[in-house]
Amino acid sequence: MKIFKVEGTLVSTNRIAMMEHKPLLTVIDKPGGTPQVAVDPVGCKPGDWVICCGSSAARDATGVKGYPSDLTIVGIIDNWEE
**Residues forming the site for its own copies (CB under 8 A):** 1-3, 10-16, 18-19, 24, 29-30, 34-38, 41-42, 51, 53-61, 63, 66-72, 74-79
**Closest separation between CB of residue 18 and its own copies, Å?**
6
Task: Quote the CA–CA distance of 8 and 5 in Å, as a whole number.
Answer: 10
Residue 82, helix vs strand vs coil = coil
> Closest by alpha carbon to 25, among 41, 12, 7?
7
**Closest separation between CB of residue 7 and its own copies, Å?**
12
- Taking the least distance from each CB to its own copies, the nearer of 46 and 77 is 77
Question: 56: Cβ–Cβ under 8 A, 6 or more apart, which residues?
Answer: none
**Closest separation between CB of residue 48 and its own copies, Å?**
9
